[in-house]
Amino acid sequence: MNKERTKVLTSTATRPLDPTDPETECVLYWMQRDVRARDNWALLFARHLAKRGGVPLRVCYALPPPPPPTGTDDDDGGDDDDDDDLPPKVTDIPMTERHGSFLLGGLKFAERELATAGVPMEVLLPLSRSAVGDAVVGRATSEAKGKALAVVCDFSPLRHHRDWTEGQAAPLLDAEGVPLIQVDAHNIVPVWHASPKREVGARTLRPKINKLLPDFLTHFPAFEGNAHLAEGEGTAPPKIRKTEWDEFRRRLALDPAVPACDWAKPGADAAMDRFAEFCSGRSPGLGLKKFAELRNDPNCQGVCSDLSPWINHGQVSFQRLALDVRAVDKYSEGKASYIEEGVVRRELSDNFCYYARDSYDSLDAAAEWARDSLDLHASDEREYVYTLEEFEKGRTHDDLWNAAQMQLVKEGGMHGFLRMYWAKKILEWTPSPAVALRTAQYFNDRFALDGNDPNGFVGVGWSVMGIHDMGWKERPVFGKIRFMNYAGCKRKFKVDGFVARYRGARENAIAASKKKAQGGSGKKTVSGKKRKVPST
């Protein structure tokens, strides 16, 4: 493994590799973002340390409790009721049945594959969401189970994950003399090695990534688990204990209002079966064969691999997908487009969240030109302003927007082209850019199976506040943010065909237009009103 993929988070880099030390019980891999036993650089590195030290490899996953119950913001006593309708912050959204089932299913699959390799996985139950790192440290330094030789963790640029690893676990492990080593097993080129700064856009990151790909896009060695421990010779292999998955499901208190997606079976096998069909050119939409040509047409969803839920949850490595795509001996244009989206665009999202740690989900992360422009037009007249419920149920005057929202709510995802249009219309139909940003993030993270991910934050940020974009012709509400409209969509694809797939989308649009004509929802002006701006 390329050593640049690792980063030591503690001042303690190593412990004496003495397997006779009674305090040394294992090397502990703290699995959090990359929930898989195969094609996992962090797990492979942990196994390397365990073999070198002659100790067992163990795996843990910390399952935080759900956030405290919350709803939309309370009435602030002002005249503008729209401001009393803000969705919860992203960190306060309860886990849904959709996300929880996929998460737990992926954990079960990983546990089975680890057990086959003789590696036990333990699910930890932190007392609170702010004590995840503490729980891992407690396991790593347990007197009953023995102090870990080292803790290896995977990488995420998101704030909560970095708080757990860098803010909580690292100083506590340092005090115990236990090294914490982080491995970027999610990106092909580690985020800290790809660039030392936040990149302007794909055009500046692309050459850096492409230059480094030969060093990092390498084949994975076989994962041999605890094969280095022979029965009766030195340290015995650890016992595999039964995991109480029903207990964990109850602990998560999953929200049943958003049901699981039947089409998305968790686990690496399901992902790779879907991917093999995509690459074969025999899928219903012909997959990779037509990917470059039709990937931006929402009526041609079949050309997409739709693997983002598995990638997001760490159940499959994009490096594996990239290696396998490269091995396909045809469809050169499709291969190039797929690598561009999966490597450059995805790793650009991690770059943004990593270097904008404190602001990636707020308007503070926008470029100065975008912030100034949005501020200038924040009080512009909005022809339509919808409530959170009207948005959620797809009850706007725009049948295409309604259909896109229904796709998200019912199917757990939205076509990439439509997601841009969808988020930009939320900017156009909410009282302020800050409300728009929170609303789009809320819907994306609540309903999208690939939500709560750097790609989601960047996708919404591109649409609402111009992240990785440039200034365009100034216009009301949008300012210099890139504009998209219905007529432009009709030039791109057959809008009527897409809308017809979602019952109620057109009927809701007709009803909303009639309501406006009758003055029920009508033209709303937010100019000059005192608005409560949410903390995002």
CB count in 10 Å sphere of residue 346: 22
The answer on pLDDT for 331 being more than 60 is: yes
Q: What angle do CA 212, 218, 222 make, to 5 degrees?
A: 150
Quickly list DSSP for 120-164. -EEEE--SSTT-HHHHHHHHHT-TTT-EEEEEEE----SHHHHII
Return the H-helix or E-strand segment holding 389: helix 388-392
Two structure tokens written together for 115:
């057990």
Q: Give the pLDDT score at 8.
A: 97
Q: Give the pLDDT score at 259.
A: 98
The residue behind tokens 């665009």 is 345
Return the H-helix or E-strand segment holding 64: none
SS3 state of residue 10: coil
- Read off the pLDDT band of 70 (50, 70, 90): low
276 and 328 Cβ atoms separated by less than 8 Å: no
Return the minimum-mean-pLDDT range out of 108-117, 140-149, 388-397, 416-425: 140-149
- Read off the pLDDT band of 97 (50, 70, 90): very high
CB count in 10 Å sphere of residue 431: 22
- Read off the pLDDT band of 525 (50, 70, 90): very low
Segment 262-299, tens digit of pLDDT = 999 999 999 999 999 999 877 666 789 999 999 999 99
Find how far residue 131's CA is from the centre of its chain. Answer: 21
Q: For residues 386 and 528, what is the distance between their CA atoms, to the nearest angstrom?
A: 19
Segment 161-202, tens digit of pLDDT = 999 999 999 999 999 999 999 999 999 999 999 999 999 999
Segment 428-478, tens digit of pLDDT = 999 999 999 999 999 999 999 999 999 999 999 999 999 999 999 999 999
The answer on pLDDT for 403 being more than 90 is: yes
- Read off the pLDDT band of 14 (50, 70, 90): confident
Phi, psi for residue 313 in degrees, rounded to 5: -80, 5
- Alpha carbons within 13 angstroms on the beta-carbon side of residue 481 total 34
pTM of the model: 0.92
Question: CA 20, 24, 27, 29: dihedral to nearest 10 degrees?
Answer: 170
Q: Give the pLDDT score at 72.
A: 52
- Read off the pLDDT band of 516 (50, 70, 90): confident
483 and 377 Cβ atoms separated by less than 8 Å: no
State the pairing for strand pair 121-124/57-62: parallel
> How far lies 108's CA from each of 124, 213, 244, 268, in Å?
14, 32, 10, 11
Domains of the chain and any CATH numbers:
3-186 (3.40.50.620), 190-225+263-357 (1.25.40.80), 363-517 (1.10.579.10)
Segment 117-126, tens digit of pLDDT = 999 999 999 9
